[in-house]
Structure 1
Amino acid sequence: MVWFNNATLFRLTDAPDAIRLSEALAKRPFQPCGGLDWFSEGWVPPAGHLEAPVYAARGSLMVSMRREDKVLPASVIRDFVEMKVQEIEDKELRKVGRKEKLALKEQITDDLLPRAFTKSGCVSAFMSGSWLIADTSSAPRAEALVSKLREALPPFPAALPRTKIAPHTAMTDWLAAGVAPGGFELDEDAVLKDGSENGAEVRVRRIDLTSDEIRQHIATGKQVAKLGLIWNEKIRFQLTDTLQLKRIQFLDVLQDEASQASDDRESLFEATFILMSEELGELVEALVEVLGGLEESQASAPIPGPAKADEEIPWPM
């Protein structure tokens, strides 16, 4: 499925060309880790039925980066080093020094690495208008995806958005007032933090956020770090003080609309992606608006034109 669960946002100042981007990413496909590699990153098709690394539909582009990491716990390396040190000391009747231990550790690591288990995962993202939205709640993973895009198609100007009103300030005000502005409404979960040295934290779930109990926490100086919101009765999510969207749920009205598009896999994927990208893009624009808009340096940036949805994306060679 193509429904995003999280959203880390980047502001684009130039629209990537669909064909150029696809050709660039096709030159950097994902390859499994080599013998002495600790990790590997590369581009894969955004869905199993696709072959190109870029999927284009109605002005939006979707990409997916796969990363594979070797799993070699430090404790395993330490055990092998200790065994080797003991073997040398017993056999040669001498003490193994620090430098020799470091050399042994490096040698043993190189010996074990080709046999290590691996773990892998994908981070998908779509670009639409002036936004890149990555399906991850991990800032380092999102930054890694943008860095790989820069490598493939430099300079690829993308930056974390900065709004005139800080998210924690706005969320605290909304909770104090018991209402959110625009098409947003308070949900039933929040995280409030005390800015003092003790760093007290309060997590609430399935509770009326307009209750006196919540207002009392705000009255004692706590600020909202995460807040559950519902947008236009279509999307439920948790907004963070770093302007990330977590635990995104596309409600039944959207999922039903997508499922009615077609029964075959290709058409369903296209309908779901178009609906998801357009609705999530509108949500982001509405969210930025209720946060006072972007700072002048970002608001004045040229808005890129949409990618051509009818362009044919070349298959990778």
Structure 2
Amino acid sequence: MALTVLAVAGWLARRHWPVLESGAVRLALADQGWLLVAATAAAGTWLCAALAQQGAVCAPLPRGRLVAAQFAASAANHVLPAGLGAGAVNLRFLMRCGLPAARAATAVAVKGTASVLVRALLIASLAVACPGVLHLPDGAPAVPVAAGVTVVAAAVLAGPLRGRCRRWLGAALADIGAVHALPRRATALWGGSLAFAVLHCAVLVAVAQAVALPLPPPRVALLYLAASSAAALLPTPGGLGSLDAVLALALTAAGAPATAAASAVIGYRLLTVWLPLLPGLLVLAALIRRKAL
């Protein structure tokens, strides 16, 4: 599946190469001040990820190694599909910090769940502020029903595993309750998750301002959140190809010129993926060598 998505992305890039080339030229001539703002926001995402991960754990974590682990996790996330890289790095880091495997897995899951819920809240809020931007397909009302049927069927079919799942769920809920019993941890978890999503929006908005994309910032942020959520359903490393195509399509469908949309997507990807990728992999190797992972 991932190879198919990447192949389609490569075919689309080749077909629309003149637009991508014009977008790259436009990005090279963009406003440097706005690009600096975008780069600063991109750097802040790793601090926010570290804050959210600390919020999912009751025990204090070593701050320097925690931030380094999030930087390395972002690089690993662009090598393995569907967020597996970041999850594996964080899981290993927490276990190296002394957490049992079950509690480390729960902490990673809690951080991921908080991220999903925060994104859903932001999308709902921006959709109200920007009516008419998002359009649900005709079959959308059936999705919650299908999801409910799937959950019920899974519960019925999981008879032999029900006791084990109940024990695991009980332990996980106990860990979640312990985290939320500490106001500082709960604030770090939800505040860090919210700031992480907002800063990613800020990166794209700042790049859009730099290339003079003719869309208001709230609409750009809403389109980014919706496009990145949709692209997450395709198992490509870091949304490579899928996010680029979906985001560019969303921006052009909202009224942005194709060249400006391509410039915004290229700039966002440069700052969040390609420029930090090699340093992130070097940090990952250093953490492994020092047995921090």
Q: With structure 2 as the length reference, what TM-score do the two structures score? A: 0.28
**Structure with a larger share of its residues in helix:** 2
**Structure with a larger share of its residues in strand:** 1
Rg: which structure is higher?
1
Q: With structure 1 as the length reference, what TM-score do the two structures score? A: 0.26
Bigger RCO (CA 8 Å, 6+ sep): 2
